Each structure stands twice: as C-alpha cells, then as structure tokens.
C-alpha cells in the first residue's frame, strides 16, 4: 500500500522532489485530517436522537485512534531513513505491539459505549422495573464477558508479535493438552464461578436491584460480575457473595417476578381486642398513606397464645424499600390506636386468687 502511495505522490507536482520520509508521512497525516473532519461532521449528520451517542463514541475512541495514527506516522517516518537500518528494525518490533494495544483499546471503548447506550435505555428506578432489571443484568454480565475476551485476545496477539515468544509458543504446542489440564485443575473453582456467572445471566435467579435475603442479611443486588455478586445491605454495608454459592445455597428473592412486595406486621393483643375496629383503622390509615400501592390490606388473627392473640397485618407497596417503611408506620399507627382507643386490649396478665384472706389481730386493731 505504501508503494502505491509513493507512486501517487511522485505523480503530483513537486511530489518527486519530496524526501521519501516526507512522502511516507503524508499518508497518516491525511488519514488524521480525515478522522478529525469525520469526528466533527458525524454528529451533525446523525439522527437527532442518536447525536449524544455518536458524540460519546467519538470522544471515548479518540485516544486509541490517535494512538494508532501516531504509531503509523512514526513507522512511516522510520521507513524514510534507509541509511539507518536499525531504525526500521526497532520500529518493526515495537510499532505492531503499539497498534495491537491501540486496536484493542479502540474495541474495548467502542463496545463499552455500545453497552452503556443499551443500559441507558432501561430505567431501573421506575416502580415497575422488572423488564429493566432483567435487561440490565444480562447487559452487565455480557459486557464483562466481552471485556475478558478482548483482554485475552489482546494478550495472545501481543505475544505473537514477538518472534521469540511465537516460536516458543509453537514449540510448546505439543504439550498444550497436558498444560491445559493442569491449569484447569488448579483453577477449577475460578472457572466454575465464571460458568456460574454465565448461568446467572441466562437463568436470572436474581437481577440488578432485586431485594434478596442471603444468610439472614437483607438488601438489594448492587453489582453482578462473572465471579461474585455485591449486595447492598440496608445499613449501607456490602455483602460480597461468590456466584457459585448462589447456585448451591437457597436464598430469598422478594422481587423475582414483580417489584411489588407484601409486608407483614405482627401485633400481640389481649383477647378482648376489637379486630373489626382495628381493621377499619388500618384501612383509613392506608388510604391516606402514599407508600401504599392500593393492592393488599388485610388484618387477621392468625394464632393465639395463653395470654394474647396474634394479629397479622398485611400491606403492599411498589418496592421493598417502601414496603419496609410502610410496615414500620403501620405498626406504630396500630399500637398508638390501641393505646388511645382500646387500652384494655393491650397484652396483660390475669390472676385469680382462690380462698379467703384472714386479717391478723394487729391489722384489725389498725383498721378500727
């Protein structure tokens, strides 16, 4: 290609008078200028709704493109110095490595921009965000899988650009099977986690922003990688769980099929409690509470003890966070209502004394 370029340059006026290194330099410089024009014209020519994404793509890929063009310029200048044979030899060793790294960085940033644009299409902050959480989980796991693939391919191609490493790798090809078995046996747990991460992305027993209970800890799924899951606990702690653990141990997913959650409030009361009145009070309270989604409002006696009845109140909310707050408010409201309107219905102990009580002579004299 470079020979054809030199021929084209020499056909231009004053082209033959230019040094060879100048002729070689004109090609990457021309490409650089064209790239600069393209980066400014492309957002204008794009569809209006796609312009922010095009600008983001150009901004994120500008550095790797400049790196590739700079390496090409340096290589072209080196070919213009035939009197210094060491220059082309050194450049032939390092320039391909730089170009491989530049292309890999370009692919990584371009694909990352694509996945970012896909994630922005789904809003997990919505009340009914089941579809958004499904898509976001698949996108995140797929993005990390593609990133790992790009890194592995980059390392392989970069090593193959060095002749010594390429010949060494060829000589070890015969023992690659045994080496693969050894490495696979040593890293079987890591490989199992990666495969489990792919299975999580496909089957989706949990997703981003799911409300889960793992080992008695309640929180929301904050991050899913190929090897572990990060759960944001309600008190702002982070629970890091290996992916393989989630496929081997049971856990609770409160938002598996829908984001709405039913909360439970348990109250112990005396046998004389007026349950219908308590049921009406909860209905009035929920009707004026913005946390309630208008779906579930139940008050029932579900159990008894020797001294009290167990009243279970069921309320629903749009998500687990609102359900928690609603449960606390309902519990406070019902207890306050019992204190103000049915104080005798609060838990109490009853004692019955049998027989007669005989006063002592000193007690009689004090009474008289």
CA distance 42 to 44: 5
Q: Is residue 188 part of a domain?
A: yes
- CA dist list (Å): 249 to 134, 191, 220, 243, 364: 22, 19, 18, 10, 73
Instruction: Answer yes or no: do 94 and 11 share one domain.
Output: yes
Co-location of 113 and 173 in the same domain: no
In a domain, 234, yes or no: yes
* Helix 188-203 × helix 130-160 angle, to 10°: 140
What secondary structure, in 3-state letters, does 75-120 show?
A: HHHHHCCCCCCHHHHHHHHHHHHHHHHHHHHHHHHHHHHHHHHHHH
| CATH code (residue 268) | 3.30.70.100
To 10 degrees, what angle do helices 275-287 and 320-341 make? 130
246 and 214 in a common domain = yes
Q: pLDDT at position 106, please?
A: 86
Q: pLDDT 10s per residue in the chain (368 long)?
A: 445 555 555 555 555 555 555 656 666 677 777 877 877 787 777 777 777 777 788 888 888 887 877 777 676 666 555 555 665 666 667 777 888 888 888 888 888 888 888 777 777 666 666 677 777 777 777 888 888 888 878 877 777 776 665 554 444 444 444 445 444 554 556 666 667 777 777 777 888 888 888 888 888 888 888 778 899 888 888 999 888 788 788 888 887 777 678 888 999 999 989 999 999 999 999 999 999 988 889 999 999 988 899 999 999 888 778 888 899 999 999 999 999 998 888 888 777 777 665 655 655 555 44
Residue 176 neighbours by CB under 8 Å, 6+ apart: none
What residues are paired with 262 via a beta bridge? Answer: 316
In terms of residue numbers, what domain contains 305?
261-345
Q: Under 8 Å CB-to-CB from 181, ≥6 apart: which residues?
A: none
- Looking at the structure, tell me whether residues 237 and 279 fall in a common domain: no
Pair (186, 271) in one structural domain: no
* Whole-number Å distance between alpha carbons of 92 and 78: 9
Q: Are residues 249 and 335 in the same domain?
A: no
Asked if residue 199 and residue 237 are part of one domain, the reply reads yes
Please, what's the b/e burial string for 143-171 (b: 16 or more CB within 10 A of its CB; e: otherwise)?
bbebeeebeeebeeebeebeeeeeeeeee
300 occurs within a structural domain:
yes
Q: What is the pLDDT of residue 9?
A: 54
Residue 191 Cα to chain centre, angstroms? 21
> Is 358 inside a domain boundary?
no
Closest C-alpha to 121, from 144, 109, 139: 139
């Amino acid at each position: 290609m470079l020979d054809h370029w030199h021929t084209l340059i020499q056909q231009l006026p004053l082209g033959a008078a230019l040094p060879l290194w100048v002729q070689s330099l004109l090609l990457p410089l021309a490409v650089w200028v064209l790239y600069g024009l393209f980066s400014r014209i492309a957002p204008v020519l794009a569809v209006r709704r796609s312009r922010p994404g095009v600008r983001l793509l150009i901004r994120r890929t500008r550095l790797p493109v400049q790196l590739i063009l700079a390496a090409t310029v340096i290589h072209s200048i080196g070919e213009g110095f035939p009197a210094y044979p060491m220059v082309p030899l050194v450049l032939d060793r390092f320039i391909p490595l730089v170009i491989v790294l530049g292309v890999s960085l370009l692919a990584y940033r371009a694909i990352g921009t694509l996945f970012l644009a896909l994630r922005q299409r789904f809003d997990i902050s919505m009340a009914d965000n089941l579809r958004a959480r499904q898509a976001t989980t698949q996108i995140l796991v797929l993005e990390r899988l593609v990133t790992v693939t790009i890194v592995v391919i980059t390392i392989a191609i970069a090593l193959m650009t060095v002749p010594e490493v390429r010949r060494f790798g060829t000589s070890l090809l015969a023992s690659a099977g045994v080496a693969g078995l050894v490495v696979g046996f040593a890293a079987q747990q890591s490989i199992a986690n990666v495969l489990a991460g792919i299975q999580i992305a496909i089957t989706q027993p949990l997703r981003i922003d799911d409300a889960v209970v793992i080992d008695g800890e309640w929180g929301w799924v904050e991050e899913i990688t190929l090897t572990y899951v990060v759960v944001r606990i309600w008190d702002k702690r982070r629970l890091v769980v290996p992916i393989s653990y989630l496929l081997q141990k049971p856990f609770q997913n409160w938002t598996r099929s829908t984001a709405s959650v039913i909360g439970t409030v348990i109250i112990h009361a005396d046998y004389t409690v007026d349950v219908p009145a308590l049921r009406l009070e909860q209905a009035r309270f929920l009707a004026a509470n913005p946390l309630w989604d208008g779906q579930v409002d139940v008050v029932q006696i579900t159990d008894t003890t020797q001294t009290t009845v167990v009243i279970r109140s069921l309320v629903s909310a749009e998500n687990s966070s609102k359900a928690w707050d609603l449960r606390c408010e309902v519990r406070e409201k019902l207890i306050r209502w019992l204190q103000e309107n049915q104080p005798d219905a609060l838990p109490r102990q009853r004692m019955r004394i049998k027989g007669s009580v005989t006063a002592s002579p000193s007690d009689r004299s004090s009474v008289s």
